[in-house]
Amino acid sequence: MLIVTEHYSRRRRHSKNNKQKAARPACKGAGAGKAGNPRELAYLLLARVHSTGAFSNLLVPRELSRSALDARDKAFVTEAVYGSLRWQGLLDTVISAAARRPVAGISAQAIDILRSGVYQILFMGTAGYAAVSQNVDIMRKYAPGPLPGFVNAVLRTVTQRPRQEWESLVVSRIPKEDKDKRLSVRYSHPEWIVSLLREAWEGAGYSQYQAAEGGAGAEGQLEAMLAADNEPPDVVLCARPGLINVEDVMAEVHGIAGTRGTCGHGRFSPYSVHVKGVDPQTLPSVRRGLCGVEDEGSQLAALALAFSAPVSRGERWLDMCAGPGGKAALLAAYAAQHGAAVLANEPAHHRADLVHSSLRRLGAGTENVTEHDGRELGKLYPHSFDRILVDAPCSGLGALRRRPESRWRKKPEDVAALAALQQGLLSSAYKALKPGGTIAYVTCSPAVAETARIVDPFLSSHPDMRRMDTAAVIRGISADPGIQLPSRAGDVQLFEHLHNTDQMFISLLHKIQ
């Protein structure tokens, strides 16, 4: 679960730079979606993301739906915007080198058009003359004066070298011993996130795969991890058990999309379908709630709890932090097949509405939603549940590939600030758990501060709790018998470069009778 701290603290953070907001185009008048050409629309959307704090994964599809651009141009805009945001760190370093000045000294209007233009030149194979002339024209439209000439000079300088040469040049200026800094530039991540991912890999127990990616031990694994973060994720569906099977979902995709769409079985979850070339919302099974969009890592997190032991009729399960409802729907569908019942709790009302919607579609007897602070559930329902999913609010660092701009908005203190909440939720789950029951503690983050450093102290202070072999449970679930898992028993940290899933952490914890 991604961090939504206002659900618990009612505090909101505002990180907008008012000076930059005023300097960028307001994207009004004709409207971003009515821009005359794809480069202009890409520029306006980037400006809006940076000036208003908009989320690109919501903004871009909405504006493209309003645009008169054809499919090819819409694909160009999508790639230019997401790519410019994802590769912003490397782009800024190249721009600084070409301009011979720090990026901080370049105006907000110019930096947006430069990022977009440089990305088109270095990553999209756009002809240099076209990228230069058209982006300069856009700059002239929105900022007449000296800026178009500056943009022209910088973009022309960038066209003089291919991407590999620019990358080598800017990285070579960083001392070799400063490994994380060099990687942060090469793979376009904040340096603190590179260090965090290094620590996560070192503690995850995958030593047997050290040479599997990159051929350079742990360093090669880290590079592969960072590279995977820069690839767009697959669209994955979850066929909810007892409601529809995978084969029927695949037949529906072929029937709707024809030759435009492709689909195939997932590698790990037996209920997963990977699709391409089709909007999931056009599928009747999705609209009816028989199946939903859900990453395989998320499916495995819910299934690990469901498969942790045979299910007895009459069991009560709790999804403590259920919004927006994907895991709750999967658990409820599976539980209903085995005579168990799920209570879904979500403290934020608008997210609880989404959970209601997901469960309501499953049919009679599956909709049971409360809106309590999860930290109070142990008092409200002492020793009441056989299985509890604690999908704790977290930094969301395991899903950076889904939100291209998020890596630049997050701060190290975001991780530390969540520890007390995560500990409180796990403590509450313990109080609500029956003897003989199981907790699944889950985060969409590989940060050790949100994973092992939450679970280990909890186990130390609760002698009647035991760490289960989560790796063995997931191996038993996986449709792929060759799934790469830690060599030691215990918790499982999924990684994008090994599993092509979001980087979910899953820890199964059992209360002794």
Residue 95 token pair: 């721009």
Binding residues for S-adenosyl-L-methionine: 321-327, 346, 373, 391
Query: Nearest Cα to 93, choosing from 83, 103, 85?
Result: 103
Given a contact cutoff of 8 angstroms between Cβ atoms, the answer to whether 283 and 289 are in contact is: no
Q: Give, to the nearest 10 degrees, the angle between helix 179-186 and helix 88-99.
A: 90
DSSP labels for 443-478? ES---GGGTHHHHHHHHHH-TTEEE--HHHHHHHH-
Kind plus residue range of the DSSP H or E element containing 74:
helix 71-86
**6 CB burial (10 A radius; 0-12, 13-18, 19+):** exposed
Query: Nearest Cα to 461, choosing from 499, 430, 486, 507?
Result: 430
Binding residues: 321-327, 346, 373, 391
Given a contact cutoff of 8 angstroms between Cβ atoms, the answer to whether 461 and 509 are in contact is: no
- 45: helix, strand or coil: helix
DSSP assigned state of 369: E
Residue 274 token pair: 């990977």
The amino acid sitting at 473 is V
Known catalytic residues are: 444
Query: Nearest Cα to 109, choosing from 57, 51, 195?
Result: 51
